Amino acid sequence: MKILVAIKHVIDVELNIKVKDGQLDLEGLQYVMSAWDENAVEEAVALKESHDAETVVISIGSDDATVSIRKAFAMGIDAGIHVSDPNLRYPDSLTVAKIINGVRQDKNFDLILLGRQAQDTDNGLTAGLLAEIADLPFVANATKIEVIDEKKLKVTRQADIGKEVIELSLPAVISVNDSINEPRLASLKGIMQAKKKTIETMDAGLLGIDSGEASLVEVMEFLPPVARAQGQKFDGDAQEITEKVVGLLINEAKVL
């Protein structure tokens, strides 16, 4: 099985993100692999360990996305592709989907794994758009992937009405939920060996995509998140606190 995992190198949202003049203030920020993509990488590596798959990651965007590609190597991924282009610093989901599809066609992947959404934009569009463009079957928000045979997977997803179990024929696209696995921490030896692997760089133009015109969506302005109002702290014994809080929820917040 040939697996392509799409990973996004995103601003570490655990840090305080500031907005200046309608733009993100990028000074002093750090970047990490988007959390759901780590689940996708882990799933690919687990499939490789149990079923002898070939695993490749692709990341699109800024030069330092190589950090996330190397982190995927350190977790056990075999090869990496970096599509770098100054116009692609903040591509929209459709452009990303087109590029992934271009690479998919070029290299014949059986399975494309993605996180269910990116940690920075929370859009959750890329996987669905990719499946549509590529005309492939798609399971969103998977919580379990099992191999039936070379051409078939059994995929579980969590829906509001209960668990859905889907038989999926390959090639296919799957986006994963964070409950699918616990991404491993790379060992130092893995990280040091990842340094020696080469990353293939590709040009969006070669895939027939004009990165200058590609994005249909332009973000006009960022607004800072509204500061959280000061909370209230209640001291005393449990009985008293409960009465007080329930009273406030009924009379002030009017939610009960």
Q: Which residues bind other proteins (CB under 8 A)?
A: 15-16, 27-30, 32, 64, 66-67, 70-71, 74, 185-189, 191-192, 194-195, 230
Instruction: Check if the beta carbon of residue 30 is closer than 8 Å to that of residue 75.
Output: no
CA dihedral 13, 31, 5, 159 (to 10 degrees): 0
Instruction: Check if the beta carbon of residue 197 is closer than 8 Å to that of residue 73.
Output: yes
Q: In what order do the strands lie in the sheet with 199-202?
A: 162-169, 152-159, 138-149, 172-176, 111-115, 2-6, 54-60, 79-83, 199-202
Closer residue to other proteins (CB): 8 or 70: 70
Nearest distance, CB of residue 27 and other proteins, angstroms: 8
Closer residue to other proteins (CB): 94 or 186: 186
Closer residue to other proteins (CB): 35 or 147: 35
β-strand 138-149 against 152-159: which pairing, if any?
A: antiparallel
Closer residue to other proteins (CB): 14 or 52: 14
The rounded Cα 28 to chain-centroid distance in angstroms is 23
Of the chain, the end-to-end C-alpha distance in Å amounts to 53
DSSP letters spanning 25-71: E-TT--EEE-HHHHHHHHHHHHHHHHH--EEEEEEESSGGGHHHHHH
Nearest distance, CB of residue 57 and other proteins, angstroms: 14
Closer residue to other proteins (CB): 108 or 230: 230
- Helix segments in 52-162, DSSP class H: 66-75, 93-107, 126-134
Closer residue to other proteins (CB): 69 or 214: 69
Which has the closest alpha carbon to 144: 133, 134, 154, 129?
154
Nearest distance, CB of residue 154 and other proteins, angstroms: 30
Nearest distance, CB of residue 69 and other proteins, angstroms: 9
Closer residue to other proteins (CB): 227 or 255: 227
Nearest distance, CB of residue 183 and other proteins, angstroms: 9
What is the distance between the alpha carbons of residues 104 and 108, in angstroms, rounded to a whole number? 6
